[in-house]
Amino acid sequence: MHIHILGICGTFMAGIAVLAKEQGHTVTGSDKATYPPMSTQLESLGIKLFSGYSAENLHPSPDCIVIGNVLSRGNPEVEAVFNLNLPYISGPQWLAEHVLAKRWVLAVAGTHGKTTTSSLLTWILEKAGLSPGFLIGGIPENFGVSARFGDSPFFVVEADEYDTAFFDKRSKFVHYRPRTLVLNNLEFDHADIFPDLAAIQRQFHHLIRTVPGNGLIIHKNKEPAIDVVLQQGCWTPIETIGEGNWEAKSLSKDHSHFEVWHNKKPVGEVKWDLIGQYNVHNALAAIASAHHAGVSLTIVFEALKCFRSVKRRLELRGVIKGISIYDDFAHHPTAIELTIEALRQRVGEQRIIAVLEPRSNTMRMGIHKKELISALKGADIVLLYQPINLNWSLTPLIKGLKNAKVFNQTTSLLEHLLTIAHPNDHILIMSNGGFDNIHNRLLTAL
């Protein structure tokens, strides 16, 4: 079968392409622009990519078109699909019907930590010899790919609450029907899709309705937004992390060493390269999920020792002349604050220079601009990039921050960085996009 994917370079749709290719299908795809890392991953698999959307990309006619949620009516390739009466489907529905059906699905949902927790869980199952399938919104360094079909009943999926497609406005995760479900946390996000937190909670409750009675829901304790969702009705056993069933006691200031307790009894220790309290919670969620799937705690702790994190999650890109450059996907104020806090716990009094591109749809709308000031206060220096398509000015923010500047061009921002950076500085670059390749340009310039 020939499957053609619209929006193929997005992390989710690229994962769909990998899974379809592994099933033996001929796979092609188009995107507004083909770009790494996903384009590199796809081309290495022999998947033909079209840069730009056009009716010509549909000749010869594919057997099935999978349409990503970034596409909408008016797109020339979408219009051609309709006019030619070609069969089409959303990515989440294709995944549910062709990959997840009859499998033990372990889904990780929540505003923050989905990618890391999914990667942790997948690695634990792998080390247990279970050869799980997975689809993750990033590239786990232990695997080097974002998706795999797998050779067992187990499949780990990063369960995103974003809408499915322009013709299906339900959240993606409603299609997955997990047996093991993680609810890491819940805050207001995706303001381009949801009017308020209650609308997101409604979708999360739709997800909860799909978990069977012999399944398990794992959630962080004392998360008011999640508690509200569960109070709307729950038909599945629950375990809590943070407090309750699964707890951790940190043995180091940066939380890279901690003891795990299960039902008030110590069961093991974790000592790894990851830092931050939020990663401790990610680990607890992964441990609880793997335990539900039958993995022994001995194997769990062995796996965590050699976990290599995920690309763009406080990833150290290089150290040049004593200056450390990090790349992080943080784009929500909570994630920004926690990332800076985690780095501070590791580097102590050494300077942190936070460089932020507010790029997400919610950020572009200015929904979280008031929270950004407090989120960035943990850094010694703050450099903000004002993208052309940002609907509000960053300049008022710098009045509430110490040593803060706003730049309209990445070139001038980079030049300023080179004048102020000193040995033992830590430059934390945060964006959920490519940020004009500023990481590599900075490393090269240094």
Model confidence band, residue 304 (pLDDT cutoffs 50, 70, 90): very high
Question: 88 - beta bridge partners?
Answer: 65
Residue 56 has pLDDT above 80, yes or no: yes
DSSP single-letter state for residue 438: H
pLDDT at position 35 is 66
pLDDT at position 1 is 95
Give the type of residue at 432.
Answer: N
Q: What is the mean pLDDT of residues 176-186?
A: 96
Q: What is the mean pLDDT of residues 401-427?
A: 93
Model confidence band, residue 250 (pLDDT cutoffs 50, 70, 90): very high
Lowest-confidence segment of 25-39, 172-186, 294-308, 400-414 by average pLDDT: 25-39
Q: Is cis: bond before 224, omega within 30 of 0?
A: no
* Residues 363-382 pLDDT 10s: 777 777 788 888 999 999 99
Dihedrals φ, ψ of 295, to 5°?
A: -80, 135
Model confidence band, residue 436 (pLDDT cutoffs 50, 70, 90): confident
For residue 61, what are its two tokens? 């006619």
Model confidence band, residue 331 (pLDDT cutoffs 50, 70, 90): confident
User: Rounded to an integer, what distance in angstroms lies between the CA atom of residue 335 and that of residue 354?
Assistant: 13
pLDDT at position 329 is 82
3-state secondary structure at position 92: helix
Give the type of residue at 68.
Answer: G
Residue 310 has pLDDT above 80, yes or no: no
Q: Give percent above pLDDT 70 in the chain.
A: 99
In order of start, what are the domains of the chain with their CATH numbers?
A: 2-90 (3.40.50.720), 102-305 (3.40.1190.10), 315-445 (3.90.190.20)
Q: What is the mean pLDDT of residues 73-81?
A: 98
Model confidence band, residue 84 (pLDDT cutoffs 50, 70, 90): very high
For residue 267, what are its two tokens? 């069961």
Lowest-confidence segment of 209-223, 242-256, 354-368 by average pLDDT: 354-368
Q: What is the mean pLDDT of residues 126-134?
A: 97
Task: Give the residue from 8, 11, 56, 57 showing the smallest Cα distance to 32.
Answer: 8
User: Rounded to an integer, what distance in angstroms lies between the CA atom of residue 8 and that of residue 117?
Assistant: 24
